[in-house]
Structure 1
Amino acid sequence: MDLKHLNPVAAGMDEHRLERIGEHLESRYINPGKISGCLTAVLRRDELAYVHVAGERDLERKLPVTNDTVFRIYSMSKPVTSIALMTLWERGLFTLDDPVSRFIPEWAALQVCVGGSWPEFETRAPDRAMRIRDLFTHQSGLTYDFMYATKLDKAYRELKLGRAQQGYTLQDMIEQLAMLPLEFSPGERWNYSIATDVLGYLIERISGQSLPDFLRTVIFEPLGMIDTVFSPRDEQLEKFASCYTRDAQKRLVLQDDAQASQYVGRSFFSGGGGLLSTASDYLRFCQMLLGGGALGEQRIIGRKTLELMVANHLPSGADLASVAMAGFSETHHEGVGFGLGFASKIQPVRNGYPASRGSYYWGGLASTLFWVDPQEELAVVFMTQLIPSSTFNFRGQLEALIYAALD
């Protein structure tokens, strides 16, 4: 999408109120050095209402953020991978209630952790087998190494499970997980996890294609997402952003140098957190979502399939606050449901932000975020590169600023 041609009037948005977004981000975050730079894009009624670009993508080289800057989107990869796998569901190649072991027979004897530590866990049999639905909804019993909550996530860290390393692949991850128990019996709780990486592996097993090739042919090429990749091409390196974190004095320090990045030449294709993209590309993905699964003449997924995906799949219509284990996720828990790869607002008043009931969203570790609000025909993409995403509440602030600009 060309980010230059704005039409806030046709989008039904107040141009002057939209300008508050850039003023807020520059005065509160960029000028004080809290982030290096950012890009915000707002789409409504299929019109580009607002774009704000500010700061630097590379502080060391003093290179500015531009419309075509390539960002690490981390967990914003999850909705892309989830949509991709559901295109195979639409072909009848699996059901949501299929046991995962149908495609990963090494997992047929997975157990649940009840004590001990790696490599000698105490375990019991799960109450039921893990289903593919459980992977989509993060109710699988898997976890993440960065949770720092249990002996199991510590085992993930010790094994460097799911971490990009020289020669490491999705098959290696699957074999490691086969040696470990689950945090809980599938379907019992909600726990943010490496499950979407497993969905990426299922795409490979079911389709017979590599994950990068499948995403490219099924989603990226049809939508014109020319800059969305797992590893930057040579011509992308000059527009690749560096990533930052903050030291004990709250100063920005380099976390991943764009010109010597850990993303170059990767062999581990993380469907849960490995993609790079641009604001323009990801906005096209959001346009497809707003279009009920289609963008122009390109239909990626069926309208009813998408409705199924963004509905709340938590038990008895619960919100995350009532079923989630303690630990990090890219969302508040109160008033928020979870579907097949997306969080959704089921009781917006409970989390105090104005996005409509039924809006859905996710974010990424480097503080990127998006949301889609079908009721308001609205999509928002925000890109920056600051780890962790819990540092600042960009989502809440942007919701307040953007919904205030609706006519």
Structure 2
Amino acid sequence: MSDTSTDLGGLLRAGVADGAVPGAVALVARPGRTEIAVVGAADTGGTTPMARDSIFRIASLTKVVTAAAVLTLVEDGTLAPEDPVDRWLPELSSPVVVRDPYGPVDDVVPADRPLTVGDLLTSRAGYGFPADFDLPAVVPLLTELRQGPPRPDLTLTPDEWTATLARVPLLAQPGAQWLYNTTSDLQGVLVARAADRPLPEYLAQRLFEPLGMTDTGFHVPPAKLDRFTSQYRPAGGGALDLVDAPDGAWSRPPSFPSGAGGLVSTLDDWWALYRMLLADGAGADGRRVLAPESVRRMRTDHLTPAQREAGALFLEGQGWGYGGAVDVLAVDPWNVPGRYGWTGGTGTTAHLVPATGTVAILLTQVELAGPQPPTLMRDFWAYAQQG
């Protein structure tokens, strides 16, 4: 499937017809024109038709919300980007770094400086995934800390998680290297401790309620389970294996609300969030949720060329803002300088382009087979950039 000359609904129906997804919802909004398409079913059996208000596990799209929450605390004066995080995360007060990323995990040197709030926001704190997942200092992230595909039923409490992370050495000196995922979970713990309230409660108060994001949270309550999609992964030969049913892992509050990938949401909720980010922090009703400068920081690349190159497995030449990638080079049809957003491993993607006023959101229920986006997602991006 590569013909993007059709309309949005036709593009999604082709993805359903070739077995890539059981169903999907998508939006492409440009100034004066908004397209919304809803196709297929919420499950492979076709028993529940997909709906505009279907609820999806959005995985790493969560990172955008978590970064925005950190910035609300920066605006309040509670945090500053240059602040060492050990005031709120004392477990990380004496970080050490592996001497050699390929060497023993206990061969370490002291960190050059403390970890800062800015290190967490830019994903350059020294924790996270590089291109090689088999490095000794990366293995504990996958095993003890259960980083990777979100599994709310298999996680520790925030305090237990942070204490465990503190026993893992940094893979790089603070500020030196972009590494994926772990710092967004750290941001979630930081927000909860700095705000002195659980992360779900803080996000609801400062972001979800002001923006009218009524279906976004870390679990789906019983009254909404009939709108919750099943989750699948590719099994080869065009088959899909069930990963999680509506009454599964997200049907109850998690022990660890993951700031890196734990949220569920809907198309309209995510559109409300991205309209705010496109409007420099103002919601659809004009109510300000973030300051314009905070939003500009989120949408600005903070990486060096060498850091972007080292992170190419995930970034594909993009830079990194706060909570999402920033296109810096027009290297592909869907790659537009200034485009901001990210992709979730559960089959979700959302981006905005400030220069053109475009918002593009695609929600599916099929996991990505690896870091690189599937054909349907790439076709969707190319369609969104047609103008």
Q: 1:96 to 1:394 in 2, by over 3 A?
A: farther
Corresponding residue SS for 2:365: coil
1:22 paired with 2:13, answer no
Task: Give the Cα–Cα distance (whole angstroms) in 1 for the partners of residues 141 and 337 of structure 2.
Answer: 36
Corresponding residue SS for 1:57: coil
Contact 1:36–1:55 (CA<8 Å) still a contact in 2? yes
Aligned to 2:178: 190
Corresponding residue SS for 1:94: coil
Contact 2:281–2:292 (CA<8 Å) still a contact in 1? yes
In the TM superposition, residue 72 of structure 1 has moved relative to its aligned partner by: 0.3
In the TM superposition, residue 396 of structure 1 has moved relative to its aligned partner by: 2.9
Corresponding residue SS for 2:39: strand
1:150 paired with 2:135, answer yes
- Deviation string 1:238-276 (CA, Å, 9 cap, x unpaired) is 000001111133311111112333553322100110000
Aligned to 1:401: 383
1:75 paired with 2:60, answer yes
Letter in 2 for 1:94: L
Corresponding residue SS for 2:29: strand
Aligned to 2:27: 41
Aligned to 1:98: 83
Aligned to 1:308: 297
Aligned to 2:211: 223
Q: May I ask how many residue pairs the two structures share in their alignment? A: 378
In the TM superposition, residue 145 of structure 1 has moved relative to its aligned partner by: 10
- Deviation string 1:164-216 (CA, Å, 9 cap, x unpaired) is 34672111110001111011111111111211111111111111111001100
Task: Give the Cα–Cα distance (whole angstroms) in 2 for the partners of residues 319 and 346 of structure 1.
Answer: 13
Task: Give the Cα–Cα distance (whole angstroms) in 2 for the partners of residues 164 and 145 of structure 1.
Answer: 23
- Deviation string 1:341-372 (CA, Å, 9 cap, x unpaired) is 22111222xx2125542121111011200111
In the TM superposition, residue 75 of structure 1 has moved relative to its aligned partner by: 0.5
1:290 paired with 2:278, answer yes
In the TM superposition, residue 277 of structure 1 has moved relative to its aligned partner by: 0.0
Q: 1:118 to 1:74 in 2, by over 3 A?
A: farther
Q: 1:238 to 1:119 in 2, by over 3 A?
A: farther
Task: Give the Cα–Cα distance (whole angstroms) in 2 for the partners of residues 185 and 320 of structure 1.
Answer: 13
Letter in 2 for 1:352: D
Corresponding residue SS for 1:376: coil
Contact 2:222–2:251 (CA<8 Å) still a contact in 1? no
Larger deviation, residues 279-288 vs 166-175:
166-175
Aligned to 1:338: 320
Task: Give the Cα–Cα distance (whole angstroms) in 2 for the partners of residues 355 and 144 of structure 1.
Answer: 23
Task: Give the Cα–Cα distance (whole angstroms) in 2 for the partners of residues 291 and 262 of structure 1.
Answer: 31
Return the match for 1:240 from 203, 228, 231.
228
Return the match for 1:199 from 187, 193, 205.
187
Larger deviation, residues 160-169 vs 338-347:
160-169
Normalising by structure 2, report the TM-score: 0.91
Q: 1:119 to 1:268 in 2, by over 3 A?
A: farther
Corresponding residue SS for 2:355: helix
1:212 paired with 2:192, answer no
Letter in 1 for 2:301: N
Task: Give the Cα–Cα distance (whole angstroms) in 1 for the partners of residues 359 and 373 of structure 2.
Answer: 23
Task: Give the Cα–Cα distance (whole angstroms) in 1 for the partners of residues 221 and 265 of structure 2.
Answer: 12
Larger deviation, residues 239-248 vs 387-396:
387-396
Letter in 2 for 1:365: G
Q: 1:105 to 1:36 in 2, by over 3 A?
A: same
Q: 1:221 to 1:277 in 2, by over 3 A?
A: same
Contact 2:20–2:376 (CA<8 Å) still a contact in 1? no
Corresponding residue SS for 2:137: helix
Larger deviation, residues 144-153 vs 220-229:
144-153
Q: 1:142 to 1:353 in 2, by over 3 A?
A: same
- Deviation string 1:306-342 (CA, Å, 9 cap, x unpaired) is 1122111113xx2754342x65x3x42x2x2211222
Corresponding residue SS for 2:112: coil
Q: 1:307 to 1:167 in 2, by over 3 A?
A: closer
Aligned to 1:388: 368
Aligned to 2:70: 85
Q: Structure 1, unaligned stretches of length 5 or more?
A: 1-16
Q: How does 1:124-139 map to 2 (within 5 A)?
A: 124-139=109-124
Letter in 2 for 1:275: L
Corresponding residue SS for 1:171: helix
1:31 paired with 2:17, answer yes
Task: Give the Cα–Cα distance (whole angstroms) in 1 for the partners of residues 103 and 199 of structure 2.
Answer: 30
Q: Structure 2, unaligned stretches of length 5 or more?
A: none
Task: Give the Cα–Cα distance (whole angstroms) in 1 for the partners of residues 34 and 239 of structure 2.
Answer: 33
Contact 2:342–2:349 (CA<8 Å) still a contact in 1? yes
Task: Give the Cα–Cα distance (whole angstroms) in 1 for the partners of residues 302 and 98 of structure 2.
Answer: 25
Aligned to 1:10: none
Contact 1:74–1:273 (CA<8 Å) still a contact in 2? yes
Task: Give the Cα–Cα distance (whole angstroms) in 1 for the partners of residues 206 and 377 of structure 2.
Answer: 29
Contact 1:310–1:339 (CA<8 Å) still a contact in 2? yes
Q: 1:319 to 1:49 in 2, by over 3 A?
A: farther
Task: Give the Cα–Cα distance (whole angstroms) in 2 for the partners of residues 114 and 165 of structure 1.
Answer: 35
Letter in 1 for 2:8: I
Contact 1:39–1:383 (CA<8 Å) still a contact in 2? yes
